[in-house]
Amino acid sequence: MAESQDDQMQSVVTCDTCDETAEHLCITCQDRLCPRCKVVHSRSKASFDHEVVLLSSSSISQAHEERFSSQQVCSKHVGYRISICCGDCEIPICEKCLLPDHNGHRVISIPDLIKQKKPKLEAKYLAISSQLPQYEEKLAEIKERSYMVAKNGDHLEEKIEKHFRTIKSQIENHKSRLIKDVRKNKTVVMDNLKSHEEKFEEYIKEMKTFMSEFKTNAKNHFILFGNCDVGATMPNGIPRTQFPELLQYKTELHDAVPLNSLCGRLFEGNIIQRENYTKTLQDISVGNNDIKSLAYRYQDDTFWLYTDGNIFQIDRKGSVLHKIVAHIQTLNNKPVVVSRSGTVIYRQKQFTLNEKKYCGFDKEFFTTSYSAPLCLWARKEGGVIVGFLDKDESDGGFFWLTEDAVIEKEIRKDSAWNDVYKKYFVLRNRAYVAENVNGDICFSNRSVEVYDSNLQHRFSYPELTDVSDFLPQDIYTDDFGHILIADKRSRLIHILNKDGGLLKMVKLPGLNRSYPISLTIDINRCLCVGCSDGKIRFIDYLSVLGNL
C-alpha cells in the first residue's frame, strides 16, 4: 500500500463501502474510503497492494487518467490493453510490447509517465501559445495576398480584354480604311483604264472600218475620194498610256517585337532590373582607334563610321569599301549620318557638310559662313538635323534640313541651350543629338538633356546634379521611342523610355578597358555599338527589354 499527500477535498464525500465521510481514494480500483474502510481495504488479500492516497481533486483526476489509460487498447496488439509505459520512448505499452520493441528499456508506471511528460508538454504549450499569434498573422497575410492576387488577376484580365477590344476596334478601323483606300484606288484606276480602253476601241474601230472599205470599195473611186491623211483615222503614233503601279499590301508583324509592343506585357511592379549582361551576336573589328561616329545604310547593309580622322564604309566582314578623308579637326562628334534615301552626309570642313549619293561623286550639301556643325541626326521622315555652334562661340542651336539642304526650321537664342554649348566648349566634351518619334530632341553632353521640338526643356537624365558616375557618349532613339545612351564611365548602355524612365542597363561582355561610344540600329533590329577598342558589337537589345 502506498499513500501520498495532497490537498484535501473542500466538500464532504461519502465512503463507497459505508455512509461515513470518505478521506481516502484507491487509485487502483477507484473506491472512495473512510479511515476505517481504508484499513480493511489495505489488509485485504485482493487489495493490499493497491495505491491509496488522500482524497483530493488532483487524486481524483489521477484516478480518472489511469482508468482511461487502462481502458485503452494497444495500437500494435489487438485485444491487449496498455498497462505500463516505456520511460525511454515515453509511450504507453502493453505486456506484449516489452520483448520485441522495448527490450532493455526502462519500464515505468502510467502515473510516472504522466509526471515525466507533463512538464515537457506544458513547456511545449507555452512555446506554441507564444508563437501562435505570429503564425496566425502570417496566415492572415497569406490570405490577404491571395485575395489581392485574385483581385489583381481579375483586374488584369479586364484590363487586357479592354486593351484588346481597343486594339481590335483600331485594327478593324484600320482594316476598313485600308480596304476603302484599295477600293477608291481601284475605282480611280479602273475609270482611268476604262477611258483608255474606250479611246483605243474607237481607234481600232476606225482603223478596221478603213481597212474594210479599202478592200470592198471600187479601187479607183475609193482612191480618188478617199482621205489619205493617217491622222484622220488614227493618232500620230500610238498615244502614250501611263499605267499606275499595282498596289501591294505588306504586313509588318513578321517577328514578335512589334506584336509584343502592340499587345503589351506583364511585369512585376516596383522591380527594375538595373543591369543586364547580354551576349554579342557579332563583332566587327575595324582597327584599334575609337569609333566616334557610326551610321547604318540599309540599302546595301553597310556601315559608315568615323575613326582615326577618316570616314570609312565597311561591310559586315569589316572590309573597307570606301574611304573619305574629312577635314573635321576637333569637332568630331557624330560627323557622319545616312539619310532615309541612302545619301551619306558628313562634315567635311569647319562650316561645310558634304553628301555622297549611292552612285555619285561627293559634292557640297550645305554650308554657312557663321555656324559650325557639331553633330548630325538623320530624320526618319527624311532630311537631317544639324546641331551647330556659331563661329564666335556666342550662340548655338539647330537647323532642320530637307534632303535638298533647304532649312525648314532654325532655333537658337535659348539661354538654357547656350549654357549647354558653353559647357561643351569649356569642357570639350563630345556632343551628340537624336530626334525621338514624338519629336523630342535628345542632346548628350555631360548629361542627357531632352527638349521638345521647340527646344523647351522636358527632362534631364540623370535627374541628380551629381553625375560623376555618368559620362554619356552617343545617343540614339528607336521606332518604339526608346532612348539609348552609351555611357563611358560605367561602360553600360542605358535604355530609357521616351519620358526618361530607366528601363534597363545593358553591359556588353568583352569590353575590358574599352567603352561604348557610338550607336545605330541595323535592319535586323540589332543595336550596333561602336567601341573605343575599334570594334562594332551587335546585341539583341529588344530581347533584353522583353524580359521586363
**H or E stretch at 166:** helix 110-216
Cα(123)–Cα(115) distance, integer angstroms: 13
Task: Give the pLDDT of the chain (548 residues) as one tens digit per residue.
Answer: 444 444 555 567 889 888 889 989 888 777 889 999 999 988 888 788 888 888 887 777 666 665 555 557 787 887 788 878 898 998 888 888 887 788 888 888 888 888 888 889 999 989 999 999 998 998 999 899 899 889 988 998 998 899 888 888 888 888 888 888 888 888 888 888 888 888 888 888 888 888 887 777 766 777 777 777 777 666 666 776 666 677 776 665 544 456 666 776 665 554 334 344 455 667 888 888 889 899 999 888 899 999 877 899 999 888 999 988 877 665 557 889 999 888 999 888 777 888 887 656 678 888 887 778 888 999 988 889 988 877 777 777 888 998 888 888 888 755 545 555 555 444 455 788 999 988 899 988 778 989 888 888 899 998 765 556 788 999 999 988 899 999 998 889 999 999 898 888 888 877 878 899 999 998 888 899 999 999 999 988 888 776 44
Please give the distance of CA 76 from its chain centroid, rounded to a whole number: 61
User: Hunting for cell 570606301 — which residue is that?
Assistant: 322
The whole-model pTM stands at 0.51
Q: Where are the domains of the chain?
A: 24-114, 118-201, 276-545
Q: What is the pLDDT, as a whole number, of residue 215?
A: 78
Q: What is the pLDDT, as a whole number, of residue 527?
A: 92
CA distances from 243 to 112, 117, 182, 188, 202 (A): 112, 104, 16, 12, 19
Q: What is the pLDDT, as a whole number, of residue 140?
A: 93
Label each residue of 255-289 as H, E or C. CHHHHHHHHCCCCCCCCCCCCEECCCCEEEECCCC
For residues 393 and 331, the answer to whether their CB atoms sit within 8 Å is no
For residues 530 and 519, the answer to whether their CB atoms sit within 8 Å is yes
For residues 327 and 349, the answer to whether their CB atoms sit within 8 Å is yes
Q: What is the pLDDT, as a whole number, of residue 466?
A: 54
CA distances from 432 to 3, 407, 421, 527 (A): 102, 20, 12, 17
Q: What is the pLDDT, as a whole number, of residue 508?
A: 85
Q: How far apart, in Å, do the first and last CA atoms of the chain sit?
A: 81
Q: What is the pLDDT, as a whole number, of residue 68?
A: 54
CATH architecture of 24-114: 2-Layer Sandwich (3.30)
CATH number of 276-545: 2.120.10.30
CA distances from 205 to 70, 112, 210, 211 (A): 127, 130, 9, 10
24-114 and 276-545 in the same fold = no
